[in-house]
Structure 1
């Protein structure tokens, strides 16, 4: 195995780059702005394919963190209704980052600590840590407990593995949700046909939304939201929270982006427990771009859960931690 890790300075920021020499795959990460995986190139159909979407040069002066690359959403993904929730007798008011709601947590534009890097049995790797306490050093009561999120990217061959660990380092319970908001390009090749693509998501249910906030009701997917047999990117417009996920024998949910012209596909897989929701979103800035977002909870879970709705909110006791995995790879089809 021939792999390595290197750094480059771009616009005064340090970019970490993982390389696999044999496959020529690469992954570029910006720790100083959300530990964002803003560029991923994997081999498919005889060529190296850029799969993750960010504007050229974005890493030199990054902004709009939820619209580029592979944003990390912690301690909550998506919205908290009106930025308000109560927890164990305390009321919390969050910045309205997408008025009238708070959205996507605090980690996606934070300066993360690089904790480890190198070459190991699973390839070139980079590890980083985000601490909740660092976001609000003035002690503002923005979240019930302190904790941290560790991420580790490892690149080997045509596969990138992301391991995440959340830990509670406080005296009280830590409620949290974790999500990722990656933007992928389909078709993979320049000049590819949108009509010769397929998006496959093994979800049988969808949350009913009222102006982006779940009502608490879950229904079987409509025809427009049923991706189990695949849907073309041609004319696709969607913004939905899907659930009822089917997993394989290894306990992984696998979503597939298929480029029929190339005879190749990209797969993103993740642990069925705790990743129990997927947001699927087609942004307005590109017909060939789709976000497939694994979440541990639905939108506004911290409020829904306290209404008696099983919304997926994770709760860690003092000293507890839990880990989960996401894989990304290309394959022939």
Structure 2
């Protein structure tokens, strides 16, 4: 493993962040005052969803009239992009901020570059993506998939979620949005919600910590069907969005998205 692939640790005050560029540039750990916020083990940390988010239906998308097939890593669909399976390179590294990149390659059919930046403060973490093309325009998405611990331990209570979406994307039996927007339903969820004024979701671990996930983008997937973790996933488009609401990366218009997690102790 070269030096550019070793785990990177950022810290400020009693907040520590670990990023693993060799393992898909995922956040491996976020500790506040010695308490881990992200699940450890097999499905752990927070991974990047890029250059698409969630499921792409049957692994098929079109760029104009040109069809492309992606590997069905969650049959019958292709899920969560290639970034989480790629080795990223370090572009910039400081005590409280870092930047990484990887070049898009097979099985993604278009050349380009993805960058991800991390900025850590004592009470917040800001993440940002940029996707640029080396040639042809193509549809793409980007977002984050954190595994927040449902319970932080120390005898505390389970996390509580609070958010006020304008709508929920109706989910079909194939787990893809049907195209209908419905009033938000109660959980548990594996669902996409629209927040046109920007994503804002608050996770509260009673008497321990409150953490708010914000993004200027309007899409968020909430996944809380597992016992140990709760996922709050801000992203640039809905699942299957390469087909339904394609956002094109062009030579003069890269895709950019950011999210800030801010917290306070209770």
The TM-score normalised by the length of structure 1 is 0.73
2:243 corresponds to 1:303:
yes
* Offset of residue 132 of structure 1: 0.8
* Offset of residue 245 of structure 1: 4.3
| Residue deviations 1:33-73 (CA, integer Å, cap 9, x gap) | 11010100124xxxx32111121xx6xxxxxxxx3211111
Where does residue 222 of structure 2 map in the other structure?
280
- Aligned with residue 84 of structure 1, among 28, 48, 60: 60
Where does residue 268 of structure 1 map in the other structure?
213
Name the CA shift for 1:283/1:220 in 2 (closer, same or farther; >3 Å).
closer
In structure 1, what is the Cα distance between the partners aligned to 2:93 and 2:151?
32
Q: What SS is found at the alignment partner of 1:203? A: coil
Q: 1:252-267 counterparts in 2 under 5 A?
A: 253-262=199-208, 264-267=209-212
| Residue deviations 1:149-194 (CA, integer Å, cap 9, x gap) | 1111121212222122221221x21210112110101333422123
Where does residue 320 of structure 1 map in the other structure?
253
Where does residue 103 of structure 2 map in the other structure?
131
In structure 1, what is the Cα distance between the partners aligned to 2:265 and 2:196?
24
Task: Report if the CA contact (8 A) 2:63-2:138 is conserved.
Answer: no
* Offset of residue 332 of structure 1: 3.6
- Aligned with residue 181 of structure 1, among 132, 138, 145: 145
Task: Report if the CA contact (8 A) 2:142-2:257 is conserved.
Answer: no
Name the CA shift for 1:150/1:68 in 2 (closer, same or farther; >3 Å).
same
Name the CA shift for 1:174/1:86 in 2 (closer, same or farther; >3 Å).
closer
Name the CA shift for 1:244/1:324 in 2 (closer, same or farther; >3 Å).
closer
Task: Report if the CA contact (8 A) 2:161-2:203 is conserved.
Answer: yes
Task: Report if the CA contact (8 A) 1:74-1:105 is conserved.
Answer: yes
From the CA coordinates, give the structure whose radius of gyration is larger. Answer: 1
In structure 1, what is the Cα distance between the partners aligned to 2:121 and 2:79?
33
Where does residue 180 of structure 2 map in the other structure?
217
Q: 1:83-122 counterparts in 2 under 5 A?
A: 83-119=59-95
| Residue deviations 1:190-224 (CA, integer Å, cap 9, x gap) | 22123xx42112312111111201111111213x1
Task: Report if the CA contact (8 A) 2:119-2:126 is conserved.
Answer: yes
Q: Which stretches in structure 2 are left out of the alignment for 5+ residues?
A: none
Q: What SS is found at the alignment partner of 1:85? A: strand
